[in-house]
Amino acid sequence: MSTKQNVEKLIADINQKAGKKMSIANLFGSNVFNDSVMKKMLPKQIHAELKKVQAGEAKLTLEVANVVAEAMKDWAISKGASHYTHWFQPLTGKTAEKHDSFLSPQPDGSAIAEFSGKQLIQGEPDASSFPSGGLRTTFEARGYTAWDCTSPAFLKEDAAGDVTLCIPTAFCSYNGEALDKKTPLLRSMEAVSKQALRVLAALGNKTSKRVTSTVGPEQEYFLIDKTFFDQRIDLIVTGRTLFGAPSPKGQELEDQYFGAIKDRISKFMKELDIELWKIGISSKTKHNEVAPAQYEMAPIFSTTNIAADHNQLVMETMQKVALRNGLVCLLFEKPFAGVNGSGKHNNWSLATDDGINLLEPGHTPHENEIFLTFLSAVLMAVDTHADKLRAGAANPGNDLRLGANEAPPAIISVFLGTFLTQLLDNMAKGKATRAKGQQFLNIGVDSLPSLPLDNTDRNRTSPFAFTGNKFEFRMVPSSASIAGPNTVLNTIVAESLDEIATRLEKAKDVNKEVAAIVKGTWQKHSRVVFNGNNYAESWLKEATKRGLPNIRSSAEAYAAMANKNAIELFEKYNVLSRKELHSRYEIYLEQYAKHINIEARAAIQMSKTQYIPQVIAYTNELADTINKLKSAGADSSVQANLLEKISALLSSASKKLAVLEANTDKASNIGNMEKKAAAYRDTVFTAQAELRQDIDALEQLLPKDLWPVPTYADMLFNF
- Which residue type sits at 55? A
Smallest gap from residue 244 Cβ to ligand ADP (A): 31
Rounded to 5 degrees, φ, ψ at 30 are -65, -20
Rounded to 5 degrees, φ, ψ at 377 are -60, -40
Which of the 8 DSSP states describes residue 133?
T
How far is it, in rounded angstroms, from Cα 437 to Cα 414?
A: 26
Neighbours of 298 (CB within 10 A): 19
User: Is residue 409 within 8 Å of residue 539, measured between CB atoms?
Assistant: yes
Stretch touching Mg ion by CB under 5 A, among 184-192, 338-346, 692-700, 709-717: 338-346
Residue 694's binding partner, choosing from ligand ADP, Mg ion, none, with beta-carbon cut-off 5 to 8 A by kind? Answer: none
Helix, strand, coil share of the chain (percent; to 5): 50, 15, 35
Closest CB to ligand ADP among residues 299, 710: 299
Q: Which of 121, 300, 423, 557 binds ligand ADP (CB under 6 A)?
A: 300
Residue 469's binding partner, choosing from Mg ion, ligand ADP, none, with beta-carbon cut-off 5 to 8 A by kind? Answer: ligand ADP
How far is it, in rounded angstroms, from Cα 281 to Cα 29?
A: 8
Report angle CA 582, 584, 586 to the nearest 5 degrees.
70
Smallest gap from residue 472 Cβ to Mg ion (A): 6
Closest CB to ligand ADP among residues 169, 467: 467
How far is it, in rounded angstroms, from Cα 363 to Cα 390?
A: 34
Closest CB to ligand ADP among residues 284, 401: 284
Please report whether residue 301 would count as binding ligand ADP according to CB under 6 A. Answer: yes
Please report whether residue 467 would count as binding ligand ADP according to CB under 6 A. Answer: yes
Please report whether residue 485 would count as binding ligand ADP according to CB under 6 A. Answer: no
Residues 344-373 that bind Mg ion (CB under 5 A): 345
Smallest gap from residue 479 Cβ to Mg ion (A): 19
Q: Which of 31, 95, 169, 349 binds ligand ADP (CB under 6 A)?
A: 349
Q: Which residue is nearest to ligand ADP (CB)?
A: 216
Smallest gap from residue 313 Cβ to Mg ion (A): 21
Q: Which of 463, 329, 494, 339 is nearest to 394 (CA)?
A: 463
Residues 648-687 that bind ligand ADP (CB under 6 A): none
Stretch touching ligand ADP by CB under 6 A, among 59-67, 114-122, 345-353, 610-618: 345-353
Smallest gap from residue 249 Cβ to ligand ADP (A): 28
Q: Which of 152, 216, 417, 449 binds ligand ADP (CB under 6 A)?
A: 216
Smallest gap from residue 285 Cβ to ligand ADP (A): 6
Residue 216's binding partner, choosing from ligand ADP, Mg ion, none, with beta-carbon cut-off 5 to 8 A by kind? Answer: ligand ADP
Closest CB to ligand ADP among residues 70, 457: 457
Residue 379's binding partner, choosing from Mg ion, ligand ADP, none, with beta-carbon cut-off 5 to 8 A by kind? Answer: none
CA 336 distance to own-chain centroid: 19
Stretch touching ligand ADP by CB under 6 A, among 266-274, 293-301, 379-387, 611-619: 293-301
Stretch touching ligand ADP by CB under 6 A, among 68-76, 213-221, 493-501, 706-714: 213-221
Smallest gap from residue 602 Cβ to ligand ADP (A): 35
Which stretch of DSSP H or E encloses residue 268?
helix 263-278
Smallest gap from residue 444 Cβ to ligand ADP (A): 25
Which stretch of DSSP H or E encloses residue 13?
helix 3-18
Rg (CA), the chain: 28
How far is it, in rounded angstroms, from Cα 97 to Cα 682?
A: 37
User: Is residue 615 within 8 Å of residue 650, measured between CB atoms?
Assistant: yes
Ranges of H-type helices in 239-303: 263-278
Stretch touching ligand ADP by CB under 6 A, among 19-27, 214-222, 521-529, 638-646: 214-222
Smallest gap from residue 69 Cβ to Mg ion (A): 40
User: Is residue 369 within 8 Å of residue 511, measured between CB atoms?
Assistant: yes
Closest CB to ligand ADP among residues 6, 205: 6
Residue 398's binding partner, choosing from Mg ion, ligand ADP, none, with beta-carbon cut-off 5 to 8 A by kind? Answer: none
Smallest gap from residue 272 Cβ to ligand ADP (A): 16
Stretch touching ligand ADP by CB under 6 A, among 42-50, 91-99, 102-110, 464-472: 464-472
Report angle CA 50, 346, 354 to the nearest 5 degrees.
40
Q: Which of 89, 151, 214, 553 binds ligand ADP (CB under 6 A)?
A: 214
Beta strands in 302-388 (DSSP E): 302-303, 327-330, 344-352
Closest CB to Mg ion among residues 283, 636: 283
Contacts of the segment 10-16: beta carbons below 8 A, 24+ positions apart: 10/273, 10/284, 11/277, 14/270, 14/273
Go through the chain and tell me how many residues it has. 719
Q: Which of 65, 120, 155, 215 binds ligand ADP (CB under 6 A)?
A: 215
Q: Helix, strand or coil for residue 258? A: coil
Q: Helix, strand or coil for residue 336? A: coil
How far is it, in rounded angstroms, from Cα 687 to Cα 683?
A: 6
Stretch touching ligand ADP by CB under 6 A, among 463-471, 510-518, 528-536, 538-546: 463-471
Number of residues binding to Mg ion, judged by CB under 5 A: 1
Helix crossing, 304-324 with 483-506: angle to 10°? 160
Q: Which of 54, 405, 469, 614 binds ligand ADP (CB under 6 A)?
A: 469
CA 130 distance to own-chain centroid: 20
Q: Which residue is nearest to Mg ion (CB)?
A: 345
How far is it, in rounded angstroms, from Cα 365 to Cα 368?
A: 5
Number of residues binding to ligand ADP, judged by CB under 6 A: 15
Cα maximum dimension of the chain:
103
Residues that bind ligand ADP (CB under 6 A): 214-216, 218, 298-301, 347-349, 357, 467, 469-470
Residues that bind Mg ion (CB under 5 A): 345
